[in-house]
Structure 1
Amino acid sequence: MTDIKGIDPSVPPSGDGCVECDAAGGWWFHLRRCAQCGHVGCCDSSPGQHASGHFRETGHPLARSFEPGEEWFWNFETEEMFEAGPQLAAPESHPRSQPSPGPEGRVPADWARTLRR
């Protein structure tokens, strides 16, 4: 356990995609991982905005990008980004073979038009 509020580096991610989008057959633009419990949700540009919804429901303040090659954290309480933080349990991102937006086969042809800004 780390001494940073909202981070438990021993907890693995909940899966390869957004928990709620997967359950509903939806799609996402980019993924975020809760640094406290490992919940994987979609970003605020995604139709479902499940990562920020997870924060509102649980109060877990920190999320890390779950995109390959990205290591930044977002603090929902302060609305601040941090370029790096402690290493979290593997895997650090969704599989590189999984496209963004994703997952393959569920992204509508007009996906860019439906992004939230």
Structure 2
Amino acid sequence: MAQVCTHIDQIQEVVPSAPGCEECLKLGESWVHLRICLTCGHVGCCDSSKGKHATKHFHATNHPIIASFEKGEDWGWCYIDQAELDFSE
């Protein structure tokens, strides 16, 4: 049975906080893939990156949903419900 996200109502229209991972840019580090918080627009790096800043942002803020910030990708993830979201429709 597919997981269901119960936090869709918390998605906002957001403006990206930076052109890359906000924390990695400040630290002069690199990242693998980018994620954007759909509550506030924070751009952080994925869990395959050294900093794991998108997940750290979730733990600091409890903002539940991120989306891929990579060109051509239209999926998201709800940390709380552990559910993948399809934004292609």
TM-score range, shorter chain: 0.7 to 0.9
Q: 1:44 to 1:33 in 2, by over 3 A?
A: same
Stretches (4+) displaced over 2 A: 3-6
Name the residue aligned to 2:12.
8
Q: 1:18 aligned to 2:26?
A: no
Asked if the contact 1:73–1:85 (Cα under 8 Å) also holds between the matched residues in 2, the reply is no
Output the amino acid matched with 2:73: E
**How do 1:49-68 and structure 2 match up within 5 A?**
49-68=52-71
Q: What is the aligned length?
A: 83
More strand by share: 2
TM-score, normalised to structure 1, is 0.67
**How many Å separate the matches in 2 of 1:85 and 1:34?**
17
SS in 1 for 2:57: helix
The runs of 5 or more residues in structure 1 that have no matched partner are 87-117
The AA in structure 1 aligned to 2:12 is: D
| RMSD (CA atoms) | 1.7
